[in-house]
Amino acid sequence: MSLGLADGTFYFNGLVFGDDTGYFVDHHEGLEGFEVRQSDSDEPRNDGAIRGLDYVAPRTIAFTLSLGETAPEDFETKFAEVRSTFMPSRSTDLPLYFKRAGQVERFVNCRAIQLVSARDYTMFGQVGHPPLVLRAVDPRIYSSDSQQVNATVYSASSGGMDWPVVEWPLDFTGGSQNLAVATNNGTADAFPLIRFYGPTAGTCTAVTLTNLTNGDVLQVTTTISSGQILTADMTAAVTGANTFVVSLDGVNRYGSWAVPRSAFRLSPGSNTLKFQVTGTTTDMIANITWYDTWLN
């Protein structure tokens, strides 16, 4: 949810800092941009290397704060607030929100890994420039506001043809097909949270969600009864979060996820989604929730 930050400001763990806040930022780096983790292998009998896959490395974000020239007691109050905001965390990440001029408010999940007490003494008081370092094991940058769309059960109208996804980017039928459209306004793949709501009538023994734009398929074979919710957390799948990736009313159903288990993506731009059910029901809903996503 957007915090309504002003341009040039940041928010972490209750503290707003940056332009015109009294907790100024002299310098920062690593919040945007990227560093690639390479997997090339040296050519054993030739020059160069064999091209591997590149992955974006964890993000190290460094700030130099400025607490301004102030009376000693005021400086100590400010620095105490900084210390209570940026504390060591054993296992929990928190969102660092930030706002750039002309851009939407965004955030990255991270934790504080270094805070140094750095002080300059002047004839008028104290000036503090404490260096601060944060680490984001998930380098993705997310929009503060999430988006969502509901997909209803697909049904091809009579008089049309249903072409294979591998041959055609869209299905052609004679009428409405109950396709949904999800738009990722970022520049990197978004990994949504998907909730399949159980039927009010009929049966459901499996669900399939297909992204007709990029070919991704999520299929889970398990019985979903009325009032139950099957959840597929694709962000957890790609970040290794300590939570269930696929669950039914809070009970692990990872083994019901059909192989190959590749995380379901929303590519940058518009994605056309097709929701299908195995069973007799036609009144289920798949709710897809995502954040626009960037890697640089």
Q: Distance (Å, rounded) from C-alpha 224 to C-alpha 205?
A: 6
Most confidently predicted of 79-88, 112-121, 134-143, 162-171: 134-143
**pLDDT reported for residue 71:** 65
Digit-coded pLDDT (tens) for 180-216: 999 999 999 999 999 999 999 999 999 999 999 999 9
Instruction: Give the rounded percent of residues in the chain with a pLDDT score beyond 90.
Output: 78
Q: How many CB atoms lie within 10 A of CB 169?
A: 11
Distances in whole angstroms, Cα of residue 59 to Cα of each of 107, 138, 192, 227: 13, 7, 21, 41
**Is 226 part of a structural domain of the chain?**
yes
Q: How confident is the model at residue 166 (pLDDT cuts 50, 70, 90)?
A: very low
Write out the two tokens for 15. 């503290």
**pLDDT reported for residue 117:** 83
Q: Which residue has the higher pLDDT, 161 or 71?
A: 71
The mean per-residue pLDDT over the stretch 75-100 comes to 93
Q: Residues with Cβ < 8 Å from 265, sequence gap 6 or more?
A: 189, 190, 191, 211, 214, 216, 234
**Which of residues 139, 174, 203 is at a domain's end?**
139
The mean per-residue pLDDT over the stretch 141-167 comes to 75
User: Do residues 10 and 29 touch, judged by C-beta distance below 8 A?
Assistant: no
User: Do residues 289 and 193 touch, judged by C-beta distance below 8 A?
Assistant: yes
Lowest mean pLDDT among 116-120, 122-126, 235-239, 287-291: 122-126
Q: Is the pLDDT of residue 170 over 70?
A: no
* One domain for residues 277 and 186: yes
The H helix count followed by the E strand count for the chain is 2, 24
**Three-class DSSP category at 161:** strand
* One domain for residues 113 and 194: no
Q: How many CB atoms lie within 10 A of CB 179?
A: 17
Residue 120, domain CATH? 2.40.30.200
* One domain for residues 211 and 123: no
* One domain for residues 225 and 129: no
Q: Is the pLDDT of residue 135 over 50?
A: yes
The mean per-residue pLDDT over the stretch 110-133 comes to 78
Question: To 5 degrees, how large is the angle CA 6–CA 11–CA 12?
Answer: 180
Residue 170, domain CATH? 2.60.120.860
Q: How many CB atoms lie within 10 A of CB 148?
A: 12
Q: Is the pLDDT of residue 108 over 80?
A: yes
**Is 4 part of a structural domain of the chain?**
no
* One domain for residues 128 and 154: no
Q: Could you give the number of structural domains in the chain?
A: 2
Digit-coded pLDDT (tens) for 12-61: 999 999 999 989 999 999 999 999 999 999 999 999 999 999 999 999 99
**Is 162 part of a structural domain of the chain?**
yes
Digit-coded pLDDT (tens) for 250-269: 999 999 999 999 999 999 99
Q: How confident is the model at residue 124 (pLDDT cuts 50, 70, 90)?
A: low
Distance of CA 160 to the CA centre of its chain: 38
Domain interval for residue 169 = 145-294
**pLDDT reported for residue 77:** 87
Taking all residues of the chain, what is their mean pLDDT, rounded to a whole number? 90
Q: How confident is the model at residue 75 (pLDDT cuts 50, 70, 90)?
A: confident
